[in-house]
A and B are shown apart, each in its own frame.
Chain A
């Protein structure tokens, strides 16, 4: 774990609006107000952070991976990416990214998909889809509302042939991604517990989520 990297004179550790420590493998959610900036920090490096966004005032509007990929004409997420909802609206904008590689095509691990991918013996392992269901259920939602997500810090290169595989994440301890909320959103995270592929370097680690108020406010 490294020390805090400051990206703006107005964003320090002492003036955060929210500061959360999220244990390895755990679910998490919080509300981010329009104009606020949220930082997801990969505190120890090589940790996939499965993330979903919902409109805070109407959960039927939510993150859409397909709209997001279509809108930017590319398969990966980085600085400048507009996070698009199923209603075609911009939910957040990625304003900073010290890692440079985030996936939104491989989805979240689940007990069920793990049986297919790795073998039936992996059914009884913590999984992101279960984390998501637990977390969205706190907000009155269910499995129906869990949609394809963003995997921050997960490295899933897609070849021109279509071939894809999960390879070692390139994030170093302290790497971060920052997003500015363009509407009030509910942020839902599964701090991925997967230990069958290299998305967590085979060692799931804690992360940190920080929120700052609008600099202009």
Chain B
């Protein structure tokens, strides 16, 4: 038996949501800038704490501190880099892409957007991004997706993102239960009117880069394997350059921290948790 809420209550909630939806869908696209310019701005060498050249097929993980920035760059040609992240203090808090896209009203991440944890806090700010072509829906490759795609090239033995993340999680003292849905950087995936995925290769090219500023202390994992939709029939990921850049305190009018009502409330959650 169900006792229906009153029509007045339903109508009031609907009106409130419609107003909220209008603001969410209209405000951010106007407030956010376009893609970052290429080439990437130079980084003062003294600020570079670490430089990694992640070979095709391989994984790397690192710890980052609040306000440090990770620059992921396609300096050696096209590749796709899948990313996962955990709160270093409490790894049960991790990157949550469904929340990230839902609260920001878009599956399209780019400069000015932020990436949320499952606890309503901001993990990363996307402070620079030259391509705006990333995939939050499909994640990375698996042994079976490689086997299917690279049949005849010993596909099952080729390195894949799922196994890379199992290795990262394990080496960080976690296990496969802890692997969240992965963000695939430089994966130009779009959804057509029927819900089918499309690959738009023109959106990404050599020299593209993303700067992710850490908004809490984290463990961050990377996997450099071809995306399952990458149409190249040959398994040929290029090396990817990853810089760990020293912390810089964001300005009071920092774009990512102020661009949307959702980001502002997310950072309020970060501030409260840090007290």
Contacts and interface: CB of A to CB of B under 8 A. Distances in A.
A98 interface: no
A66 B13 contact: no
Interface residues of B, number: 62
Interface string B5-40: 100011001101100110011000000000000000
A160 B118 CA distance: 26
Contacts of B9: 202
A120 B138 CA distance: 31
A170 interface: no
Interface string B111-144: 0000010111100000000000000111110111
B2 A44 contact: yes
A65 B101 CA distance: 14
A164 interface: yes
A202 B191 contact: no
Interface stretch (A7-15, A33-41, A107-115, A175-183): A107-115
A129 to B, nearest CB: 7
A113 B137 contact: no
A160 B193 contact: yes
B119 to A, nearest CB: 5
Contacts of A111: 120
Contacts of B202: none
B144 A88 contact: yes
Interface stretch (B41-49, B64-72, B177-185, B239-247): B177-185
B217 interface: no
B108 to A, nearest CB: 3
B152 interface: no
Contact of A165 (B25, B97, B194, B265): B25
Interface in B144-171: 144-145, 162
B262 interface: yes
Contact of B108 (A107, A156, A162, A195): A162
Contacts of B24: 165
Nearest to A118: B20
B196 A73 contact: yes
Nearest to A75: B195
B178 to A, nearest CB: 6
B98 interface: yes
A155 B121 CA distance: 26
B13 A144 contact: no
B67 to A, nearest CB: 21
Given A70-B228, A112-B119, A86 B10 contact: no
A120 B177 CA distance: 30
A145 interface: yes
List 9 A-B pairs, minimum CB-CB distance, nearest first: A107-B98, A162-B108, A112-B120, A66-B139, A88-B144, A202-B13, A158-B191, A76-B195, A202-B10
